[in-house]
Structure 1
């Protein structure tokens, strides 16, 4: 390899780094702009996050804050999370704009649907957790609270619990994508995955028991969607594999 080739390779690498930096900066600016726009409403945004718990508590109950700056810090964290979710389309576009020029046409057909669908499925999982699971679980748990106990959750503990549940359900809803990728890459066949169905069902309940609170209701609300989404992945994987074949694979 000549010195000119080395210089050309170095210039190409540097240009990629510059492009990556620009894309990351644009994504960060989008998140920051949305975050600053939402900051005046940080308290209301946290109230929305807390509403499933507040609806399950007795009338007149309130959450507590045990830290000195917790009443400020937790709403800011929640607002930052919401800002990221709102700016997610821009973040994903910047990621796609960076990798797309280096992909073949059939690879674009493979990557683009996966990026978009995985993001949408994660958001659907978070929404399912917020609108359906929280109301059911909080009501179920608080009904078992003794009459002698005044239930007043700490806002920091509540935020930590909510984030854990959001991540658990968001990742659970990625199961179809995992199945599709494994089948498309030839790691395993659909027929083989169907043979593993009993183990998947047992694994779903084990995962639900580990990542959710120790009550049957929340475990069922995670395990059952996980099993159904696995079946959805089995249905979609062959269709996706056929739609994203490379030209040499169809020859």
Structure 2
């Protein structure tokens, strides 16, 4: 390896180190804000347990408007969170702060990743990425909102009111955080699937034909992925799997459009 190439490689590593530092700092700043505003964060986390949560209110109004009376009007989910170790509460608070820090810092994190890969892209690829940067953040926050306002309350309602053998529901505080906070973050990340497929289609790794061919394999992979990133219960995994499959079908359309555009550009350039 020549000295020029060696320096180029070292410069590349230095750039990666710089971007990672900025990413860690942004998460630290966001996490510090979450840690300081403890009462507000606790209020957000406890939302899915309360009957006045916005999702439950909408379901109640829908039930009444549909002539179902109050069949979808819920009471509070009555269970008491407990910490089983001396560090339980602090660890839970710290974990929530980190998750919150990642969520609010996501646009900056994506920007840093973009600055890292930008030098290796062509002009037309740079223009394409510039066009989807806003969409990436919108997809992420849409996923977080879907996780928090749809998946989390349904999971909390189902699991928190489930009865078996007369057991009293007293979940560990960390299990509740994993259900609400981690599920929201994971859903936000999953909603990046169309962006990932877009990039893979741009560089020719995936095609719409291939995506259609391996639908069944994808279903299995989605269920495995849902089992890894969600709390260890089948209900949450199924809830996550549905939007992922919808996003997968949407991603096939994106790949088809990319392929069509690339083919058109190839014909024009001849």
Query: How would you bin the TM-score normalised by the shorter chain?
Result: 0.7 to 0.9
**Which deviates the most, 128-137 or 238-247?**
238-247
Match of 1:38 in 2: 34
Classify 1:118/1:155 alpha carbon distance in 2 versus 1 (closer, same or farther; 3 Å): same
Cα distance in 2, alignment partners of residues 11 and 172 from structure 1:
37
Match of 1:102 among 102, 107, 120: 120
Cα distance in 1, alignment partners of residues 225 and 237 from structure 2:
9
Cα deviation, 1:121-172, whole Å, max 9, x if unaligned, reads 3432232111111211222233332594332211022223446534653454
Once the two structures are TM-superposed, the CA of residue 82 in structure 1 deviates from its matched residue by 1.0
Once the two structures are TM-superposed, the CA of residue 195 in structure 1 deviates from its matched residue by 4.3
Cα distance in 2, alignment partners of residues 28 and 21 from structure 1:
11
* Structural RMSD (CA): 3.6
Once the two structures are TM-superposed, the CA of residue 179 in structure 1 deviates from its matched residue by 3.9
Cα distance in 1, alignment partners of residues 174 and 202 from structure 2:
42
Match of 1:180 among 198, 201, 208: 198
Classify 1:81/1:249 alpha carbon distance in 2 versus 1 (closer, same or farther; 3 Å): farther
Match of 1:194 in 2: 212
Classify 1:102/1:234 alpha carbon distance in 2 versus 1 (closer, same or farther; 3 Å): closer
Cα pair 1:110 1:244 within 8 Å, conserved: no
Q: Residue 145 of structure 1: SS of its match in structure 2?
A: coil
Gaps spanning 5+ residues in structure 1: where? none
Once the two structures are TM-superposed, the CA of residue 65 in structure 1 deviates from its matched residue by 1.0
Cα pair 1:43 1:75 within 8 Å, conserved: no
Gaps spanning 5+ residues in structure 2: where? 52-73
Counterparts of residues 110-129 of structure 1 (less than 5 Å)? 110-112=128-130, 117-129=135-147
Count of residues in Structure 1 that have an aligned counterpart in Structure 2 = 246
Q: Residue 37 of structure 2: SS of its match in structure 1?
A: helix
Q: Residue 21 of structure 2: SS of its match in structure 1?
A: helix
Classify 1:156/1:24 alpha carbon distance in 2 versus 1 (closer, same or farther; 3 Å): same
Residues 1:159 and 2:177 are matched in the alignment: yes
Match of 1:52 in 2: 48
Match of 1:25 in 2: 21
Cα pair 1:54 1:62 within 8 Å, conserved: no
**Which deviates the most, 91-100 or 200-209?**
200-209
